[in-house]
């Protein structure tokens, strides 16, 4: 249903209905979580040339920035519920700040040793980003749809703000890359402020109380006296206290300290993850493979004669495509209160179609104008952001409450997995497409 025209009474009424019950502090905290958790990832990618120089493939930075995050998301959902959220936040802030400091303080030499140290710093920041994403998505379980919508919008804003901030610092303000990265290393402090000061603690405190009550019942000598408080036996088997774990860091199943109980919990979570693959993980994986293959492998070859473009040099095409893509992502990741996609495979297939169309153009040069490619790239960003936020919104709506927190965190592995695959594919794809263009009389990709 389309929204009424802005300024009309119907529009104001519609907005009031959409945001009824929204807590400004929750929305602010989760927007900042999304922004800070992702902005360092973007800043690191924006600084790739400064980190490794012109002779090292920039895909090295992408993979160092993504693979640790992917491995964290792949493994952490099965044990991270043992760690309370406040402890997680401290760990993530320490890792990301330490990573940025290592990158910034490593001597600006382009030898193997200094590049290796910088990549170690990138790995630390990546571990923080991966653990942060699955944790904050799980945390939205306690705060509802507006938390999820705010998180998605914040992650979309990270692309615009991160790339823009690095460009302003290093180009407009003429601050050295080293000092710029040193300044950005203090950004994770905002995450501490968001969690410990801005975010209302009521929902988490309620879960603490629930966990304590559950433990008291489990340890009571006369459980029959509290029969009305007990969940059915099968809930003890399937619940696994997933949401309780994350709040208190403790397990409340009957034999929680035993190896058998831990193994049974792990097996149950594996079963949950298998159930998430086809409805949620696969479409998210597909859309990320397609869009990051476009961004890393195809976009650098989508070049036109300078006389028919607004640019003076060929390197400007790629940065422009990236900025337009980030605008699309920000808009769609902020759209959850207004637009919901329930059939996740449709936009994923459309993204694959974008990859096919732009690859064919890179080969056969049939799109007549640069601005048409810009429209397609903007559409690419819209589709990618829409699948991201819609996937987690669908989980929030459709997955049983006792499984929801785990499901939100576990599904987040798909975006990093897609980026990892696209990183490897994109490096080979760019080389192949550039060679094809040169062989067919278009050598723009060699003139950057």
For residues 267 and 135, which has the higher predicted lDDT (pLDDT)?
135
- Tokens 């945001």, residue? 19
The pLDDT of residue 8 is: 58
Domains and CATH numbers, the chain: 22-202+260-446 (1.20.1250.20)
Q: In sequence order, what DSSP letters do the residues of 345-385 get, joined into one string? A: HHHHHHHHHHHHHHHHHHHH-----HHHHHHHHHHHHHHHH
CA distances from 114 to 10, 54, 96, 227 (A): 60, 15, 19, 64
- At 377, the pLDDT band (50, 70, 90 cuts) reads very high
The pLDDT of residue 243 is: 36
Burial of 210-242, coded b for 16+ CB within 10 Å and e otherwise, reads ebeebbebeeeeeeeeeeeeeeeeeebeebbbb
pLDDT in tens, 329-361: 999 999 887 888 999 999 999 999 999 999 999
CB 128 within 8 A of CB 92: yes
CB 60 within 8 A of CB 181: no
Give the Cα separation of 18 and 31 in Å (integer). Answer: 18
- Mean pLDDT, range 377-391, rounded to an integer: 96
Q: Is the pLDDT of residue 440 over 60?
A: yes
For residues 22 and 254, which has the higher predicted lDDT (pLDDT)?
22
- Mean pLDDT, range 159-185, rounded to an integer: 90
- Tokens 């992917």, residue? 70
The pLDDT of residue 258 is: 55
- At 205, the pLDDT band (50, 70, 90 cuts) reads low
Q: Is the pLDDT of residue 215 over 70?
A: no
- Mean pLDDT, range 105-132, rounded to an integer: 92
CA distances from 206 to 229, 280, 390, 401 (A): 16, 29, 28, 15
Retrieve residue 329's tokens. 């992502």
For residues 250 and 276, which has the higher predicted lDDT (pLDDT)?
276
- Mean pLDDT, range 143-153, rounded to an integer: 92
For residues 379 and 335, which has the higher predicted lDDT (pLDDT)?
379
The pLDDT of residue 15 is: 52
CB 337 within 8 A of CB 307: no
CB 245 within 8 A of CB 82: yes
Least confident of 232-241, 280-289, 296-305, 309-318: 232-241
The pLDDT of residue 1 is: 47
With H, G, I as helix, E, B as strand and everything else as coil, classify residue 448. coil
For residues 251 and 361, which has the higher predicted lDDT (pLDDT)?
361
- Mean pLDDT, range 386-392, rounded to an integer: 95
The mean pLDDT value of the chain amounts to 83
Q: Is the pLDDT of residue 217 over 90?
A: no
- Mean pLDDT, range 365-370, rounded to an integer: 96
pLDDT in tens, 28-51: 999 999 999 999 999 998 888 788
Retrieve residue 426's tokens. 């994109």
- At 327, the pLDDT band (50, 70, 90 cuts) reads very high
The pLDDT of residue 232 is: 38
pLDDT in tens, 59-69: 788 889 999 99
- Mean pLDDT, range 299-325, rounded to an integer: 88
């Amino acid at each position: 249903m389309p929204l009424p025209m802005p300024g009309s009474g119907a529009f104001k009424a519609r907005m009031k209905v959409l945001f009824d019950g929204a807590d400004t502090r929750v929305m602010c905290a989760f927007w900042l979580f999304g922004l800070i958790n992702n902005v360092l990832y973007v800043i690191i990618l924006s600084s790739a040339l400064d980190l490794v120089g012109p002779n090292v493939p920039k895909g090295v930075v992408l993979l160092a920035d993504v693979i640790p995050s992917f491995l964290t998301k792949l493994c952490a959902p099965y044990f991270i519920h043992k760690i309370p959220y406040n402890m997680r936040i401290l760990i993530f802030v320490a890792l990301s700040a330490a990573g940025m400091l290592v990158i910034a303080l490593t001597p600006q030499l382009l030898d193997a040793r200094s590049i290796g140290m910088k990549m170690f710093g990138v790995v630390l920041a990546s571990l923080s980003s991966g653990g942060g994403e699955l944790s904050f998505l799980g945390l939205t379980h306690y705060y509802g749809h507006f938390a999820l919508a705010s998180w998605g919008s914040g992650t979309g804003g990270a692309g615009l703000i991160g790339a823009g901030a690095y460009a302003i610092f290093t180009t407009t303000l003429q601050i050295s890359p080293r000092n710029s990265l040193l300044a950005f290393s203090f950004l994770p402090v905002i995450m501490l402020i968001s969690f410990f000061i801005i975010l209302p603690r009521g929902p988490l405190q309620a879960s603490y109380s629930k966990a304590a009550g559950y433990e008291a019942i489990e340890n009571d000598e006369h459980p029959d006296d509290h029969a009305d408080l007990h969940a059915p036996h099968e809930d003890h088997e399937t619940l696994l206290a997933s949401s309780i774990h994350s709040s208190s860091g403790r397990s409340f199943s009957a034999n929680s300290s035993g190896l058998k109980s831990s193994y049974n919990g792990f097996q149950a979570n594996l079963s949950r993850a298998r159930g998430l693959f086809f409805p949620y993980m696969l479409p998210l994986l597909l859309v990320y493979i397609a869009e990051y293959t476009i961004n890393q492998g195809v976009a650098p070859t989508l070049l036109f004669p300078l006389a028919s473009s607004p640019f003076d040099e060929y390197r400007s095409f790629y940065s422009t495509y990236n900025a337009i893509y980030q605008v699309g992502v920000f808009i769609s990741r902020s759209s959850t209160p207004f637009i919901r996609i329930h059939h996740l495979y449709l936009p994923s297939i459309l993204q694959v179609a974008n990859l096919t169309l732009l690859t064919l153009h890179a080969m056969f040069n049939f799109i007549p104008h640069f601005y048409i490619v810009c429209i397609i790239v903007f559409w690419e960003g819209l589709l990618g952001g829409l699948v991201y936020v819609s996937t987690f919104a669908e989980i929030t709506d459709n997955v049983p409450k006792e499984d929801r927190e785990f499901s939100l965190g576990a599904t987040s592995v798909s975006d990093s997995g897609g980026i990892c695959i696209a990183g490897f594919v994109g490096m080979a794809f760019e080389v192949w497409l550039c060679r094809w263009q040169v062989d067919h009389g278009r050598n723009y990709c060699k003139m950057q």
